[in-house]
Amino acid sequence: FLSLVAEFCCGFFVILILGNFWFFAVLYLLWLYLDWGTPCAGGRRSQWVRGWTVWKYFREYFPIHLIKTSELNPNHNYLLGFHPHGVLVAGAFGNFCTDPPFKNLFPGLTPYLHIMPIWFGCPFFREYIMSAGMVSASKESVSHVLNNEGGGHASVIVIGGAEESLNAHPGSLTLNILNRKGFIKMALKHGAHLVPVFSFGENELFKQVANPKGSWLRNVQEKLQKIMGFALPLFHARGVFQYSFGLIPYRQPINTVVGSPIPVKQNLNPTTEEIDQLHALYLQKLKKLFEEHKSNYGIPAHKSLIFE
**What pLDDT sits at residue 7?**
53
**What pLDDT sits at residue 22?**
67
Tell whether 195 is covered by a domain.
Answer: yes
Tell whether 193 is covered by a domain.
Answer: yes
**What pLDDT sits at residue 247?**
84
**What pLDDT sits at residue 17?**
67
307 SS3 class: strand
**What pLDDT sits at residue 2?**
59
**What pLDDT sits at residue 264?**
98
Read off the pTM. Answer: 0.92
6 contacts: CB under 8 Å, gap ≥ 6: 119, 122, 125
Tell whether 206 is covered by a domain.
Answer: yes
pLDDT by 10s per residue, the chain, length 308: 555 555 556 665 566 666 767 677 788 889 889 999 999 999 999 999 999 999 999 999 999 999 999 999 999 999 999 999 999 899 999 999 999 999 999 999 999 999 999 889 888 889 999 999 999 999 999 999 999 999 999 999 999 988 899 999 999 999 999 999 999 999 999 999 999 999 999 999 999 999 999 999 999 988 888 877 777 888 889 988 888 888 899 999 999 999 999 999 999 999 999 999 999 999 999 999 999 999 999 999 999 999 99
Contact 299, 231 (CB under 8 A): no
Tell whether 72 is covered by a domain.
Answer: yes
Tell whether 35 is covered by a domain.
Answer: no
Residues forming a β-bridge with 255: 65, 200
199 contacts: CB under 8 Å, gap ≥ 6: 82, 83, 84, 86, 91, 92, 254, 255, 256, 257
Counting the structural domains of the chain, the total is: 1
DSSP-derived letter for residue 262 is B
Contact 307, 283 (CB under 8 A): yes
DSSP string, 4-54: HHHHHHHHHHHHHHHTTTHHHHHHHHHHHHHTTTGGGTT----HHHHT-HH
Tell whether 28 is covered by a domain.
Answer: no
Query: Positive or negative, the Cα torsion across 129, 135, 202, 76?
Result: negative
78 contacts: CB under 8 Å, gap ≥ 6: 72, 109, 153, 154, 155, 192, 193, 194, 195, 261
Contact 297, 201 (CB under 8 A): yes
| Parent domain of 154 | 40-307
**What pLDDT sits at residue 125?**
87
Residue type present at position 146: L
**What pLDDT sits at residue 12?**
59
Residues comprising the chain, all counted: 308
Residue type present at position 187: A
Tell whether 254 is covered by a domain.
Answer: yes
Contact 131, 49 (CB under 8 A): yes
d(CA 213, CA 187): 32
**What pLDDT sits at residue 230?**
74
Whichever domain contains 241, its CATH number is 3.40.1130
d(CA 10, CA 25): 11
Contact 250, 205 (CB under 8 A): yes
**What pLDDT sits at residue 4?**
53
DSSP string, 157-207: EETTHHHHHTT--TT--EE--TT--HHHHHHHHHTPEEEEEEEETGGGS-E
Tell whether 82 is covered by a domain.
Answer: yes
